[in-house]
Structure 1
Amino acid sequence: MEEFLISRQCLGARAAGPIPLLLATLIGLSGCDRLQPPAGAAGPARQPPAPVTIAAAVEKDMPLELHAIGRVQPFTTVTVKPQVSGQLAQTHFVHGQDVKTGDLLFTIDSRPFQTALEQAQATLEKNIALMNDALIEAEWQENLQERGLGTQRESQNKRALAESLKAAVAADRAALAKARLDLEYCSIRAPGDGRAGEILAHPGNVVSANETALVVLNQLSPIYVSFSLPERELGRIKRAQSTGDLQVRVEIPGEEQAENEVGVLSFIDNAVDSATGMISLKGTFGNANHWLWPGQFVNVTLTLGTRRGAVVVPSAAVQTSQTGQYVFVISEDLVAESRPVVPGFAVGEETIIETGLRAGERVVTDGHLRVTHGTRVVVREPADVGQPAPASRPDTHP
């Protein structure tokens, strides 16, 4: 029967021509290839282990620090203005000079004020003489009245004149004191310690009392550094400050110094900025060497205390997902486990882990992109970080 069918197929092939016969032969061979697997095949290959670098979580004491960008402010700023009007006669310092309280800065032409003083003195002396004479006449007139030789009205007039001249003398004494004070104001002195800025008025200029700015003095020692922190940190700051002074350190970006300038937190603003959600603070620094300068931007570190026995990992180990923050923990058999954690303070390149990790556990610090939960890994040396991963053989473990 099979021979008969084959003969019919062959006859049909001959009848149809050579081209259909060739197509039928090729289709048949292709179907046979799909049905028979190649010899020696071992099934689909597994993914190679992901190359990563790891670090162990350690337990140690960590400072609790907050970081911000700050700006240096002078401790005091005084704009020196004259208290009398006149022509500026002389300048007794150079701009940029450090001055002390009471140092002579400017003098105003004092001749008009000296003349006014002498005039006030003369007026006082004249009125004193008139007052003394009026008092004598008042007493004399009162004696006459007692003896019946004068009227009460005459006595009252003499006494009124004497009292009027006594008041005039008091006014003259005040005018004399004012003239003497104006003469002193011709010598303009530094109201406090500081560094002088640019001189704004020069000899020959006519200056107006309480209007013309002569120079600005900035006190550089001590000095303030102002900075802002998010309002969520306010509670931590207040709790830490209740136990004592809080240390503030600053460093100037791009400048190398032997050690950071250290001061104390001296001011917390009485309100949070509703537009930014930030709270303003100030630190006070001795600045004896004038290392900090007004207007300068600095990096600020506010230390709230020290966390004893904190579990710490490199900050690069902490990753963020839609459900929160996590780390990849590597088991003894080099399998990655995605574990949620609660990070705390970050200090430098290290982060405190509040919950979710124990000291000694190993976490991935580089190579996260190729790692998921349950991924097998191969550990690279830290020196290999950033270099192409070495070729790995397929994992043939069952």
Structure 2
Amino acid sequence: MRSCSSPTRTACWCRRNSTSRPPARSCWPRWEFRMTSEVKPRSSRRWLAGVVVLLAVIAGVIFFVSRQGRPAGKAGGKGGAMPERKVPVLVETVQRRDVPIVLEGLGTVTPLATVQVRSQVSGRLMKLSFEEGQPVKKDQVLAELDLRPFKIAVQQAEATLKRDAASLRNARLLLERNLQLKEQQLVPQQTVDDQQTLVDQWLGTTGIDEAAVAAARLNLEFAHVISPVDGIAGIRQIDVGNLVTPQDPLGIVTVTQLDPISVVFTVPQDELERLHAAMGGKAPQVEAWSRDGAKLVSTGELTVIDNQVNATTGTLRLRAMFDNANRTLWPNQFVKARLTVEEKKDALVVPAAAIQRGPDGAFVYLAKDDNTAELRKVEVDLITGQTALMKSGLEEGDRVITDGQAQLKPGASIEVRQGRGIAGAQ
């Protein structure tokens, strides 16, 4: 075994044999030096990087804490104060005036009569005597069937009646003769009784014949299909030349009465007492508005309060009547009905948008003279439309904030802008 005393040889031998077997003792110091020289610089760099990261984290935490602890009114300079932001708001003035109490409900325009005109007899349709979408009058002929079969039936019934009436006259004559012979004791009583029975039979037969004549004439009349009401004719359901029967599901045409017309709408059942009080005098006024509430369509009167409450919805159905000569209301149209049930005299009113709700009840924000907001608790009597009637908490002339309350707190600075007024909010 070779000696490793030479430094050069030792290094070469160590490099050559370090992987195959443990180095000789003479190689240990130099081998240890090589290992230390290779590992130690890497550990130093990692330790230095960890220290840098730790210092960066500490610096960030100190910066964040110092920013959080700085007073909100201070700026980044030498303690300069930032002016407080003013919240833009709309205000309205509390007023006293007479306020109509209005109940609103979504309603449907309902005609007083919608008739599906059908033929009452079977036959071929020969003529239509109306124009689609045009007015028709009561008892106006709308359609005509083939009249020939019905005229023939009338003639047959009348002929049968004449024949049986002649037989009845002959039976009566024979009865009179038998009565005379009976007085002379020339015929037995049985003969007189038999003849009387025959007369009664012919009386019944002629009665049936008269009824048959009346039925045949009625069928002839039914061959002319008439309108049972005044109204507007719809789109025809059948064309000329088709066979019509009383069982046709669509009939010939639908006639709808449009003037007058009604609106059926619902209100909460809690308003029943107020409705009865309103119906005790003059009929309450009802306004029909477009579904979006932007346009007044017509004005009418309340006529009917339904006799039961809908148990599912807790609402009550009402019917109002409207003159509709100008055809502004149309069947099945949706409208917003506004029913005036009473009028509050000299009520203290504010826009309903000013009323806020909190854990302690209703409150409003007031605009003070120094342009700051004040929170005040209030008690609301009722809200009708976009107007709130107040019980307590406000006085006439107070300025209530109607927009921008979500950004307010008591004492906040505000920038006042005047609203549209209570009348404009209705």
For the aligned pair, the TM-score class normalised by the smaller chain equals 0.7 to 0.9
The aligned residue for residue 380 of structure 1 is 416
Residues 1:270 and 2:310 aligned together: no
The aligned residue for residue 340 of structure 1 is 378
Bigger shift: 363-372 or 278-287?
A: 363-372
Task: Check 1:306–1:255 CA distance in 2 against 1; reply closer, same or farther (3 A cut).
Answer: closer
Write the distance in 2 (CA, Å) between the matches of 1:191 and 1:45. Answer: 82
What SS class does the counterpart of residue 181 from structure 1 fall into? helix
Q: CA contact under 8 A between 1:248 and 1:263: conserved in structure 2?
A: yes
For residue 101 of structure 1, report the CA deviation from its aligned partner: 0.5
The aligned residue for residue 280 of structure 1 is 317
Counterpart of 1:232 (choices 259, 270, 277) is 270
For residue 67 of structure 1, report the CA deviation from its aligned partner: 1.6
Write the distance in 2 (CA, Å) between the matches of 1:45 and 1:343. Answer: 43
Write the distance in 2 (CA, Å) between the matches of 1:274 and 1:79. Answer: 32
The aligned residue for residue 245 of structure 1 is 283
The aligned residue for residue 216 of structure 1 is 254
The aligned residue for residue 77 of structure 1 is 114
Write the distance in 1 (CA, Å) between the matches of 2:347 and 2:135. Answer: 48
Counterpart of 2:210 (choices 166, 169, 173) is 173
What SS class does the counterpart of residue 272 from structure 1 fall into? strand
Write the distance in 2 (CA, Å) between the matches of 1:254 and 1:243. Answer: 31
1:336 maps to a residue whose letter is: E
Task: Check 1:186–1:383 CA distance in 2 against 1; reply closer, same or farther (3 A cut).
Answer: closer
Unaligned runs of 5+ in 1: 1-40, 385-398
Residues 1:307 and 2:344 aligned together: yes
Q: CA contact under 8 A between 1:105 and 1:190: conserved in structure 2?
A: yes
Write the distance in 2 (CA, Å) between the matches of 1:144 and 1:310. Answer: 103
Q: How does 1:120-269 map to 2 (within 5 A)?
A: 120-209=157-246, 211-212=248-249, 213-253=251-291, 260-269=297-306
Write the distance in 2 (CA, Å) between the matches of 1:320 and 1:287. Answer: 43
Bigger shift: 324-333 or 153-162?
A: 324-333
Write the distance in 1 (CA, Å) between the matches of 2:223 and 2:174. Answer: 43
Write the distance in 2 (CA, Å) between the matches of 1:362 and 1:255. Answer: 28
Write the distance in 2 (CA, Å) between the matches of 1:268 and 1:109. Answer: 48
Residues 1:321 and 2:358 aligned together: yes
What SS class does the counterpart of residue 132 from structure 1 fall into? helix
Q: CA contact under 8 A between 2:143 and 2:226: conserved in structure 1?
A: yes
Write the distance in 2 (CA, Å) between the matches of 1:140 and 1:66. Answer: 86
- Cα distance per residue 1:346-379 (max 9 Å; x no partner): 23x3322233322222222223123334x15444
Task: Check 1:51–1:98 CA distance in 2 against 1; reply closer, same or farther (3 A cut).
Answer: closer
Q: CA contact under 8 A between 2:132 and 2:235: conserved in structure 1?
A: yes
Write the distance in 2 (CA, Å) between the matches of 1:288 and 1:244. Answer: 23
Write the distance in 1 (CA, Å) between the matches of 2:137 and 2:226. Answer: 9
Write the distance in 1 (CA, Å) between the matches of 2:83 and 2:294. Answer: 52
What SS class does the counterpart of residue 380 from structure 1 fall into? strand
Counterpart of 1:296 (choices 318, 327, 333) is 333
Counterpart of 2:395 (choices 354, 358, 376) is 358
Q: CA contact under 8 A between 1:327 and 1:341: conserved in structure 2?
A: no
The aligned residue for residue 26 of structure 2 is none
What SS class does the counterpart of residue 287 from structure 1 fall into? coil
What SS class does the counterpart of residue 270 from structure 1 fall into? strand
Write the distance in 1 (CA, Å) between the matches of 2:339 and 2:146. Answer: 52
For residue 45 of structure 1, report the CA deviation from its aligned partner: 8.5
For residue 52 of structure 1, report the CA deviation from its aligned partner: 3.5
1:339 maps to a residue whose letter is: K
Q: CA contact under 8 A between 2:90 and 2:403: conserved in structure 1?
A: yes
Write the distance in 1 (CA, Å) between the matches of 2:159 and 2:402. Answer: 91
What SS class does the counterpart of residue 308 from structure 2 fall into? coil
For residue 274 of structure 1, report the CA deviation from its aligned partner: 1.3
Bigger shift: 228-237 or 333-342?
A: 333-342
- Cα distance per residue 1:286-341 (max 9 Å; x no partner): 11111111121112211112211011112221111133222123455545132132
Higher relative contact order (CA 8 A, sep 6+): 1
Bigger shift: 209-218 or 43-52?
A: 43-52
Q: CA contact under 8 A between 2:90 and 2:419: conserved in structure 1?
A: no
Write the distance in 2 (CA, Å) between the matches of 1:52 and 1:206. Answer: 73
For residue 275 of structure 1, report the CA deviation from its aligned partner: 1.4
Task: Check 1:254–1:279 CA distance in 2 against 1; reply closer, same or farther (3 A cut).
Answer: closer
TM-score (norm 1): 0.79
Rg larger for: 2
Residues 1:101 and 2:176 aligned together: no
Write the distance in 2 (CA, Å) between the matches of 1:214 and 1:70. Answer: 30
TM-score (norm 2): 0.75
**Paired positions, count:** 341
Write the distance in 1 (CA, Å) between the matches of 2:201 and 2:287. Answer: 68
1:245 maps to a residue whose letter is: A
